[in-house]
Amino acid sequence: MSAVTIDSTRCKGCELCCRVCPQGVLRVAKQINTKGYFPAEVGDGTLCMGCCMCAVVCPDVAIEVRVHGVHYDFLGQ
């Protein structure tokens, strides 16, 4: 069981995370943030498998990933 959280105030809406998420967890929000960007947001969070691909590609370090139980290190970091 894993969870991804996005700091929507840091997000600049580049959408790189949405593209790389293999589970389609992330999507673009419909509301702009304080910077004026449409930030990424978590859709169906239960699908997250903690692969961290979104966090790895995020240039703004806006994503934090937590894992409960076994963590599968997909990227071999």
Partner 1 sequence: MTGGEVVFSRPESLRRTPTHYCPGCTHGTAHRLVAEVLDELGIRERTVGVAPVGCAVFAYNYFNCDFLEAAHGRAPAFATGVKRVRPELIVFTYQGDGDLASIGLAEILHAANRGEKFTVVFVNNAIYGMTGGQMAPTTLPGQVTTTCPGGRDVEQVGYPLRVAELLATLRTPGYIARGSLHGPEAIVASKRLVRRAFEHQVAGTCFGLVELLSTCPTNWGLTPMAACQWVVDRMIPYYPLGELKRPESATGQVAS
Which residues sit at the interface with partner 1, rule CB under 8 A? 1-3, 9-10, 12-16, 19-20, 37, 45, 50, 52-53, 55-61, 63-68, 71, 75-77
Q: How far is the CB of 43 from partner 1 (least distance, A)?
A: 14
In the complex with partner 1, which residue's Cβ is closer, 30 or 61?
61
Residue 67 has a CB neighbour count (10 Å cut-off) of 15
The Cα-based distances of 77 to 6, 41, 52, 56, 73 in angstroms read 21, 24, 10, 10, 7
Return the SS3 of 12: coil
Q: Which lies closer to partner 1 via its Cβ, residue 30 or residue 69?
A: 69
